[in-house]
Amino acid sequence: MSEMWINMGPQHPMTHGLWNLRVRIEGEVILDVDPEMGYLHRGIEKISEDRHYNEVITLMDRTCYVAGLAWEHLYMLAAEEALHIRPPERAQYLRVLCEEFQRIASHLMWYAAFVQDIGLMSPFLYGMRDRDLILDLFQSYTGARMTYEYMRAGGVRNDLPPGFTDRARKVLDWLLPRFHEYDQLCLGSDIFHKRCDGLGKLSAEECIRHGVTGPMLRSAGRKRDLRRDRPYAVYDQLDFEVAVADGADVTGRYLVRMEEMRQSVRILYQVLDWLDRHPGPVMADQLPRWLGAPYAPVGREGYLLKRNYPKGVGFSAIEEPHGEALAYVVNEGGEHPYRVKFRSPVFANLAASRHYLVGYRVADIPPIMGSVDVCVGEVDR
């Protein structure tokens, strides 16, 4: 067969979203790839400039639809820095609770999609089933299963409902043996190793050169995790380890994500214990009126002119389930952020795809791209 280009996407079972991977192949061997993003661009950064600080979180849930709370956390950290607000400690613990549960949910979603990519049918449902338990927990305190709108500038919307921590512990107790089950279905299978070992190699140096972060970087043996290296919220008070593997391949990424879920469970037990012992306010007092809890923004010109807001710039970086996400919020006074900028980890991971796809086969594309954990919502924003 001579060389040809094939378009994998924008509607293709491999893409998990709207993007296009153009692949030049000869027979089954990949000669060149060309990722095309932008099919899902919604202009979230621009829309944010026209929205009240708290209203931006409705966009954050939709930026990455499998890790909404992590992105809410990211944005809120930056926005609070720009607005000179400091949330109470309990709110910070609640945010960590959200983020870690979201990390497990996101990784479970990744697991489900990834095993589907290599042709495993039933673990897909297992992953979704167990993720649903976490979504149930989210629903019990945020009120929604996917679009949470839970965090507010200065804290979180509401405290946990009674009995939540016990339910959450039950879920964690249920999850831990499940991880072992997942491993048996994947690592215990010779076919899995045949499919995934040594695939999609990207060394740590190359990762850093191309801005690839998250599990992909850690799978190359580099111990870098913003939760440990640049602690935000209350991560410096929590005890956990950074998951690392040395394969730099698909199996390595699998191992890293599995281990991260276990570490998240470990963090969550600590967070739940803390939350049980320390009741308190979940919203900062001394907020500007228009950030106070039940208030609607009143964006009338007459109002704006008479206010004199403090200005500021906020920057935050968190270890999102997919990698290192950064946010930058400029507050020029006024109710709306002057500029909001996000750095999506998956965008960089995807953009480097030429460096870990070329030379492999067409049949290797789904496992490799599956191991990247593509979330197009945050790529295109």
Span 131-190, contacts to another protein by CB under 8 A: 132-133, 135-137, 139-144, 147, 149, 157-158, 161, 163-164, 167, 170-171, 173-174, 180-181, 183-190
Handedness of CA 205, 206, 212, 216 (dihedral sign): negative
325 SS3 class: strand
Of the pair 210, 253, the CB lying nearest another protein is at 253
Strand 155-156 vs strand 151-152: parallel, antiparallel, or unpaired?
antiparallel
Residue of 255, 271, 346, 357 interacting with another protein (CB under 8 A): 255
C-beta separation of 350 from 35 below 8 A: yes
Is residue 310 within the footprint of another protein (CB under 8 A)? no
66 SS3 class: coil
Long-range contact set of residues 284-293: C-beta below 8 Å, sequence gap at least 24? 284/85, 284/86, 284/87, 284/88, 284/91, 284/154, 284/155, 287/85, 287/153, 287/154, 288/83, 290/52, 290/335, 291/53, 291/54, 291/83, 291/85, 291/152, 291/153, 291/154, 293/152, 293/157
Is residue 303 within the footprint of another protein (CB under 8 A)? yes
Is residue 54 within the footprint of another protein (CB under 8 A)? yes
Of the pair 256, 348, the CB lying nearest another protein is at 256
317 SS3 class: strand
Residue of 31, 40, 208, 287 interacting with another protein (CB under 8 A): 287
Site for another protein in 188-247 (CB under 8 A): 188-195, 197, 241-247
Least Å from the CB of residue 113 to another protein: 10
Site string for another protein, 340-379 (x = CB under 8 A): ---------------------xxxxxx---x---------
Is residue 311 within the footprint of another protein (CB under 8 A)? no
Site for another protein in 8-37 (CB under 8 A): 8, 12-14, 28
Site for another protein in 98-127 (CB under 8 A): 115-122, 124-126
